Amino acid sequence: MFESLEGYIEAGSEEYELVHRLDLMKLPGHVAVIMDGNGRWAKQRGLSRIEGHRAGSDSVREVIEASARLGIKILTLYAFSKENWKRPRREVSELWSLLRDYLKKDADVLMKNDLRLLVIGQKEGIPRIVLKELDRVERETAANERMTVVLALNYGGRSEIVDAVKRIVRESPADPDALTEESFSSHLYTASLPDPDLLIRTSGEFRISNFLLWQIAYAEMWMTPVLWPDFRKKHLLQALVEYQQRERRFGDIRPR
C-alpha cells in the first residue's frame, strides 16, 4: 500500500507518522486548494511579490507529487482568479511568465508520471502565448490516468455560473422545467469532474474567494495559517488526517 511513498517519506519523521494515521483506501478523490499568501511571504522577507510567487511554485510541485504518490485522483489548484487582473500590470505579466516557464519545464514530468493537465476558466482572457502552451500540454497529457491536475486560470465562480446559464439558454431556451442540478452541473467548466471532497486554504484566511461556488456545497474545508510558499507535504498530510476524522453526512443524520 505504501510502495509509492518508499524513499519519499523518511522513517520516523512527522510525515511518516501522519501517513501511518491515514487509511489510503479512504482518501478524498478530489482535493481543491486555494493557494494564498505568496505576497505576505515575500513581504516578511523583504522580497518582491514575484519572488513569493516563484517560491510558491515549489509548493505546487511538492503538492502535486505528494498527491500523486498518495493516490489522490484529482487535484485542483486556484492559480489565477479573474480578480487577479486588478494587481499591478508587471506582477500579472510575471505571473503568466512563471506559468509558461513551468509548463515548458514540467510538461515532461507530467507525461512521465501519467498525470493529466486540465484547465478551467475563461481561456479567451489568457495571454495567447501562455494559452498555446496550456493547449499543448492538455493535448499531450489527455490520455494520462494516474491523476488529473486541474489549473483554475482566469477563473471566477460567479462567472462560471453565468457562463453555464448562457449555454443552457442557448441550448434549450423554451424548457426551463427540464433544468435539474445534474443538467446544470453538466454545463459548468468542471462538467467532467466530480465535486471536491476537500477544500484547503492557506494563509489563515477564512474566505472562499469566488472559487468553485457550486461544486464545494458539501466539501470539507481545512484552513491553515501556513503561507503557500511554506506549504509542504506535511501540511497536506495534516489536512488529509483531519478530513478522515470528520463524518460526512451530506444533510443526512447518518455519515457516509
216-249 pLDDT, tens digit per residue, is 999 999 999 999 999 999 999 999 999 999 987 7
Predicted local confidence at residue 1, as pLDDT? 39
Give yes or no: 84 in active site.
yes
Strands 147-155 and 220-223: unpaired
Domains of the chain: residue spans and CATH = 28-162+193-245 (3.40.1180.10)
- How far are the Cα atoms of 10, 112, 161 from residue 226, in angstroms, in the given order? 22, 31, 30
User: Quick one: how far is CA 137 from the chain centroid?
Assistant: 17
CA distance 183 to 178: 8
At 254 the pLDDT is: 66
- Nearest CA to 71 out of 128, 6, 21, 1 is that of 1
Q: Which residue has the cell 481543491?
A: 32
Question: What is the pTM for the complete model shown?
Answer: 0.94
pLDDT at residue 234, as a whole number? 98
Strand partners, 200: 33, 222
Q: Which of 58, 84, 195, 210 is catalytic?
A: 84
Ranges of the chain with pLDDT below 50? 1
* The pLDDT of residue 252: 65
Dig out the grid coordinates for 134 from the structure: 496550456
> Listing from the earlier edge strand, what are the strands of the sheet with 74-81?
115-120, 147-155, 74-81, 30-34, 198-201, 220-223
pLDDT at 177: 83
38 labelled catalytic: no
pLDDT at 4: 81
How many angstroms separate the CA atoms of 14 and 171, rounded? 53
